[in-house]
Amino acid sequence: MIEPVLESGSGTLPAPRPVYGMRSRPELEHFESIALAPYAQRAQACAGRAHPEPEHPYRTGYQRDRARVVHSRAFRRLEYKTQVFLNETGDHVRTRLTHTIEVASVSRTLACALGVNEDLAEAIALAHDLGHAPYGHCGETKLDDLMRDHGGFEHNLQSLRIVERLEIKYPAFPGLNLTHEVLEGLRKHHQGFDRPAFGNNPAERFPRPSLEAQLANIADEITYHGHDLDDGLDHGLIHVDQLTDLAVWKWCAERVRQQFPALALHPKKFVTYTIRALIDFQVADVVRETLRRLNEAGVTHADEVRRQPFPLASYSAELKKANAQLRTFLFDHVYRHPSIAEINDRGCAMIETVFLAYRNDPALMQGYLESHGAGQSLERTVCDYVAGMTDRFLRQEYARLTGKPDPE
């Protein structure tokens, strides 16, 4: 207790100084109970972890999950994994890490606007790309081909493997031991969804994940729509004149012209702000459409969201059509651009060479088989090792194994 002290010579008491204490986890969970929408996933209603742990005194379960992902080795490796352009091709190019951070930002914005759990949405967003192979989707396709007879490869399921098995952080269990709801968000469309030991029929398989998971998924799309256009323009793969037939670009460019007509005299600034407006436009559309769907469905509980026959987080029909047009444009003019395809082809050739070398001689993995191979096939262990590599380390391993810096 702070005792009041008389001001010198005044004879009056100063205003009392507030005394702040630690905000406990129960207090944070109580705040969620009164502040979040009824269809939000509350931390207090968490279905738990595969390996039970004591609760934290001043962090909710989803806040702990967020920290566990950020402090993981797999998260740090994202800095040197390709999004679309190789890391060293420019100082401002997006990497898998910066993409992930942008997705987390958009996820929190959507969750906040809709009154759902920002911590859960952010934790899912931060973990959603942990399982990506080197060289982006091209690398994923190559690993899936190499693993065709051994269960295949898919980056969402690999993200789950990383947080459930491959990260070694704790003495009592493998993986990060994340909450059920974060794992649910990483699973996406695979295997259905359930809520073990938490109020649902054990045989019930929900067709949908939480609204927070749905928002993190759509935030991923919103983010790459904007930044892949931005990077494509910045690298000269596309020109702004090619965008005039894209409906969503026309809507946003016209809005910028109306609000800031002077930007027309500064083409680079105009493009930069239009991409910013495109992201904002898509976020606002998702908020409106998702609220419409929530009200129409009349959901009043997080599990009612999970039982819906269709996603509640969505673009409007008009924007969904416009985004399909935008994605086709990005595939045709950015992702399949000859300069990108050439780099990806070299990367895939390195992945195949390194994968086959490890499979033929596991000792080349320098102890990885011994530390991570128990209970699974050699091919899966090799796949885990190669998938976890950064672009840079893959090139180093290729050079070490072949004596050549690049495939011919």
pLDDT per residue, tens digit, the chain (408 aa), is 344 444 444 456 667 676 677 789 999 999 999 999 999 999 999 999 999 999 999 999 999 999 999 999 999 999 988 776 555 555 557 789 999 999 999 999 999 999 999 999 999 999 999 999 999 889 999 999 999 999 999 999 999 999 999 999 999 999 999 999 999 999 875 555 666 645 555 556 788 999 999 999 999 999 999 888 988 888 888 999 999 999 999 999 999 999 999 998 898 899 999 999 999 999 999 999 999 999 999 999 999 999 999 999 999 999 999 999 999 999 999 888 888 888 889 999 999 999 999 999 999 999 999 989 899 999 999 999 999 999 999 999 999 999 998 886
**Treating both helix axes as pointing N-terminal to C-terminal, what angle do 96-114 and 267-297 enclose, rounded to 10 degrees?**
50
Domain count, the chain: 1
Distances (CA, A) of 39 to 117, 120, 297: 10, 13, 11
| Residues 384, 300: Cα–Cα separation, whole Å | 41
Q: CA 298 from chain center: how many Å?
A: 28
pLDDT at 56: 95
Contacts of 314 (CB under 8 A, 6+ apart): 218, 286, 289, 290, 293, 320
For 150, counting Cβ atoms within 10 Å of its Cβ (0-12 exposed, 13-18 middle, 19+ buried), the class is middle
Among 164, 153, 159, which residue's Cα sits nearest to residue 188? 159
Whether 334 maps to a domain, the answer reads: yes
**What distance, in Å, lies between the first and last C-alpha atoms of the chain?**
75
CA–CA gap between residue 264 and residue 209 (Å, rounded): 44
Distance CA 26, CA 299 (A): 26
Residues 303, 209: Cα–Cα separation, whole Å: 9
The residue written with tokens 């989707």 in the block is 137
Q: Are 386 and 132 in contact (CB under 8 A)?
A: no
- pLDDT value for 3: 42
Identify whether 329 is part of a domain.
yes
* 316 vs 319: CA distance, rounded Å: 5
Q: How many angstroms separate the CA atoms of 204 and 311, rounded?
A: 18
Structure tokens at 56: 């934290």
Cα–Cα distances in angstroms (integers) from residue 121 to residues 57, 214, 285, 294, in the given order:
22, 9, 18, 17
Ordered DSSP codes for 254-300: HHHHHH-GGGGG-HHHHHHHHHHHHHHHHHHHHHHHHHHHHHHHT--
Buried b (16+ CB within 10 A) or exposed e, 57-90: eebbbbbbbbebbeebebbebbebbbbbbbbeee
The domain spanning residue 329 has which CATH number? 1.10.3210.10
Which residues, 6+ apart, have CB-to-CB distance to 264 below 8 Å? 257, 270
Backbone angles phi, psi at 407, to 5 degrees: -65, 150
Is the residue at 196 inside a domain? yes
Any domain includes 19: no
Residue-level pLDDT at 85: 59
| Sign of the alpha-carbon torsion through 268, 269, 272, 275 | negative
Dihedrals phi, psi of 90, to nearest 5 degrees = 180, 150
66, part of any domain: yes
8 A C-beta contact, residue 185 and residue 210? yes
Q: Residue 82: what are its φ and ψ, rounded to 5°?
A: -65, 135
Note whether residue 40 is domain-resident: yes
Sign of CA dihedral 246, 252, 253, 258: positive
One-letter amino acid at 68 equals R
Instruction: Look at residue 1 in the predicted model and tell me its pLDDT.
Output: 36
Q: Encoding tokens for residue 168?
A: 């070694």
Asked if residue 377 is part of any domain, the answer here is yes
Cα 275 from Cα 268, distance rounded (Å):
11
pLDDT of the residue at 200: 53
Domain limits for position 364: 25-402
Whether 10 is covered by a domain: the verdict is no
